[in-house]
Amino acid sequence: MADATVLPEGRNVRLRIDSDGWIKRAFMGVIALYLVVALALPLYAMLSKSFVTYSFDLTRYEFQVSDESGAVWGDPVTAAELNDRLGEFAPDDLRSSSDGRLSVTDLFPDFSFRSPVMYRIRGTTDNAPYLVGLDLQNSTDWRELDSNTFRRVNLRPVADTGLQNYQEYFSNPALFSSIENSLYIASISTVLTVLFAFGFAYAINRSCMPLKGAFRLIAMMPILVPSLLPGIALIYMFGNQGFLKPLLFGQSIYGPLGIVIGSVFFTFPHALIIISTALSISDQRQYEAAESLRASKWRTFWTVTIPGARYGLISAAFVTFTLVITDFGLPKVIGGQYNVLAIDIYKQVIGQQNFEMGAVVSVVLLIPAIVAFVIDRQVQKKQVSLLSARSVPYEPKPNRRFDMAMLAWCTIMGIFIAGIIAVCQFAALINYWPYDLSFSLRNYDFNKMDGGGWGAYWNSLELAALTAVIGTAIIFVGAYMVEKIDGFKTGRAAFQFLAMLPMAIPGMVLGLAYIFFFNNPANPLNAIYGTMAILVVSTVTHFYTVGHLTALTALKQIDAEFEPVATSLRQPFWRLFARVTVPVCLPAILDISIYMFVNAMTTVSAVVFLYSTHTALASVAVLNMDDAGDIAPAAAMGMMIFYTNATARVLHAFASRSILRRTQAWRVR
């Protein structure tokens, strides 16, 4: 019999979780809870907002009309019955937005505001809002009005849920064309940025050109300024009064051209870091093999170099694409009439207070970002290590012509980047461009301008410092728990997913989601709305992913044996964490904190919806000053951010060096 051969099912073997394990799980739970509250719930609130629709419900209102004497009343009749009889409003006409109005006199063909006929209106349910003039009424009691007042009666829409907002969005050609524009801009900028950055990275890693260090520094400069600063510089260079305007041959800088140039500027360092890392890892032996097979330089490039760097190139492309499509500062400053998704959100929310439509555009904006993100993750999974223990690092050989060409290319990019920064500084010091070119510090008198004045600058410093300290602590501890916990697979996978999610969330979407979620009186966390705390939470969350990945990379370098050894020596995990893990990972921790600091100084998109009276920020001030037309002061404030970040970077470099010397001696053999 077959049954006899089957062994009885064994006991499920499970590792007993020690107290350390429980503490670690608790820690991870707390940080996961943070991510749920700061990310998942607000996004859910926003998603549900996009399904809130407004329409006029005619069954909720009842009318009575008198005769000419004003004393004898006809039978009550609902608005719906009147409409059925007249066919005045098609169902489509009854769809509306939160600010909609429907004039009731359209339901009375004989209506004349001069007639002595009297009208009565009432709601048939509790929620039947209507306006008399501008007074909101909502009652089931009859209200009697003369005809002259009755013509000032407007019905208000009531909220419901449904897909109506999405239908409306996709049937509105103006809004729909923004999708096309956004994709167009993002694709072109991505191709250009990746090409340029590849050339630059190639020069730095594969040539023997001089001044590599200086070029590296210059290439990193755009990361230190808000994304709208290049827009301001481009206006000074190529605007109608720009000193380089003839170079455009009559093209206007306002529009796609300006957005693309500015996007290349601010995404360049992001792409460069990724591509440069990919190019720096290569095996000399492959090139030697190609050479001995007599492959031409050109062929070697296409069969060895490009395949080796392809994952880096794909990653860089997606990062650039996401950055451009979600950026909002640049199109606002230099986009002219060119509508993109990020601007639509701003127009819907700020211009028309149509939060529901703003939420819909946010959801639409999420799609390309998430698609790009998912593809990138898939590609990353396929990445295999190119370096094995036997690899020989690639050593570039001097080649005068090639090195000079590379130097020329880097010089062009260097002039482009440094030039834009220099133009901003120059603009900030001019009294009144272009009519009074005298030198002046007038533009630094921020207290006389929009945007919060010098206070905004100090607030930004506070935000950046808090974000750097708190954010780094949360991110590193979270990464440690995920990496060094045993078992608990599902929990770890869920946490990992939450930690990767912020990368795909545009800042504006996050900011809008925070309004919906935190400014709800039913929310116990409502108290942080309008404080510095919500700015810190949103910034930490917005930039969580890159910090998390950095921490994971550093933690993976630590041998997994440390934990078992510590356990067998009966040392609690926190002692190991404090004595070994943190000191070993200090370089990564410093990197995370400077990343958080710099981004907190420059970010606009998430915080633009969240700052308040005491928490105006420098980066938002740049936006607001430009918005009001104070371009030179905006440039001045942008440069303050640049110098602050540059200083922070220098301090970071010094700190890293001295800390490395003290704690990383073990790395030196």
Partner 1 sequence: MTNSKSLALGALALVMSSTALWAQTELTVYTAVEAEDLERYAATFNEDHPDIKINWVRDSTGVITAKLLAEKNNPQADVIWGLAATSLLVLKTEDMLEPYAPAGLDALDPKFRDSDNPPSWVGMDAWVAAICYNTVEGEKLGLTAPTSWADLTKPEYAGHVVMPNPASSGTGFLDVSSWLQMMGEEGGWAYMDALHNNIAAYTHSGSKPCKMAAAGETVMGVSFAFRGAKEKANGAPVEIIIPEEGIGWDMEATAIVAGTAKEEAAKTLVDWSITPKAMEMYNVGYAVVGIPGMAKPVEHFPANIPEKMIDNDFEWAANNRSAILEEWSKRYDSKSEPKG
What the block records as the tokens of 468 is 């750097």
Contact with partner 1 (CB under 8 A) among 3, 9, 135, 141: 135
Q: 275 or 631, CB closer to partner 1?
A: 631
Name the amino acid, one letter, at 594.
I
Q: Which two tokens stand for residue 530?
A: 């309008």
Nearer to partner 1, 336 or 587 (CB): 336
Query: Of the two residues 591 and 630, which places its CB atom closer to partner 1 in the complex?
Result: 630
Do residues 261 and 333 lie in contact, with contact meaning Cβ atoms separated by under 8 Å? Answer: no
Give the contacts of 371 (CB within 8 A, at least 6 positions apart): none
| Neighbour tally for 572: CB within 10 Å | 14
Minimum distance, C-beta of residue 521 to partner 1, in the bound complex (Å): 4
Binding mask 451-490 for partner 1 (x = CB under 8 A): x-x-------------------------------------
Q: Which stretch binds partner 1 (CB under 8 A): 10-18, 37-45, 174-182, 473-481?
A: 174-182
Closest distance of CB 479 from partner 1, Å: 35
Which residue, among 42, 33, 3, has the nearest Cα to 526 in the 3D structure?
Answer: 42
What is the token pair recorded at 19?
């107290």
Name which position in 284, 612, 647, 658 contacts partner 1 (CB under 8 A): 612
Question: Closest approach of Cβ 406 to partner 1, in Å?
Answer: 35
- Residue 620 tokens read as 């938002």
Task: Please spell the DSSP secondary structure of 607-634, one letter per residue.
Answer: GGGT--GGG--HHHHHHHHHHTT-HHHH
Residue among 239, 252, 193 at smallest CA distance from 423: 239
Site map for partner 1, 385-424, x if CB under 8 A?
A: ----------------------------------------
Q: Which of residues 212 and 245 has its CB atom nearest to partner 1 in the complex? A: 245
Query: Which amino acid is located at 143 in the chain?
Result: R
Binning the chain into helix, strand and coil, the percentages to the nearest 5 are 65, 5, 25
SS3 per residue for 120-153:
EEEECCCCCCEEECCEEECCCCCEEEEHHHHCCE
Q: 3-state class of 198 per DSSP?
A: helix
99 binds partner 1, rule: CB under 8 A: yes
Residues 341-360 that bind partner 1 (CB under 8 A): 346-347, 349-353, 355
User: What string marks each residue from 520 to 559 as x (binds partner 1 by CB under 8 A) or -?
Assistant: xx----x--xx-----------------------------
- Which pairing describes strands 430-432 and 77-78: parallel, antiparallel, or unpaired? unpaired
Q: Find the shortest distance in angstroms from Cβ 242 to partner 1.
A: 9
The piece of 56-64, 213-221, 445-453, 459-467 that touches partner 1 (CB under 8 A) is: 445-453
Q: Would you give the binding string for partner 1 spanning residues 40-79, x where CB under 8 A is met?
A: ----------------------------------------
256 is a site residue for partner 1 (CB under 8 A)? yes
Question: Nearer Cβ to partner 1, position 345 or 639?
Answer: 345
* E strands in 66-195: 77-78, 95-96, 102-103, 118-123, 130-132, 135-137, 143-146, 153-155, 158-161
254 in contact with partner 1 (CB under 8 A): yes
**β-pair partners for 96:** 54
* Residue 453 Ramachandran class (φ > 0 left, ψ -120 to 50 alpha, else beta): left
Q: Is 339 in the site for partner 1 (CB under 8 A)?
A: yes
CA-based nearest residue to 625, from 507, 458, 448: 448
CB of 268 to partner 1, least distance (A): 24
Residue 413: CB minimum distance to partner 1, A: 27
Q: Which is nearer to partner 1, 130 or 198 (CB)?
A: 130
Beta carbon nearer to partner 1, 119 or 433: 433
Q: What are all long-range contacts of 66-73, with beta carbons under 8 Å and residues at least 24 apart?
A: 66/117, 66/118, 66/119, 66/120, 67/117, 68/115, 68/116, 68/117, 69/116, 70/116, 70/117, 70/118, 73/120
Interface pick for partner 1 out of 48, 125, 177, 383 (rule CB under 8 A): 177
Distance of closest approach, residue 128 Cβ to partner 1, in angstroms: 14
Taking the least distance from each CB to partner 1, the nearer of 154 and 190 is 154
Tell me the DSSP string of 553-596.
Answer: HHHHTS-TTHHHHHHHTT--HHHHIIIIIHHHHHHHHHHHHHHH
Q: CA-CA distance, 516 to 443, in Å (whole number)?
A: 36
Q: Contacting partner 1 (CB under 8 A), which of 629, 665, 666, 669?
A: 629
Binding site for partner 1 (CB under 8 A): 96-97, 99-101, 103, 131, 133-136, 152, 154, 156, 172-174, 177, 181, 235, 239-241, 252, 254-256, 332, 336-339, 346-347, 349-353, 355, 432-436, 447-451, 453, 515, 519-521, 526, 529-530, 612-614, 624, 627-631
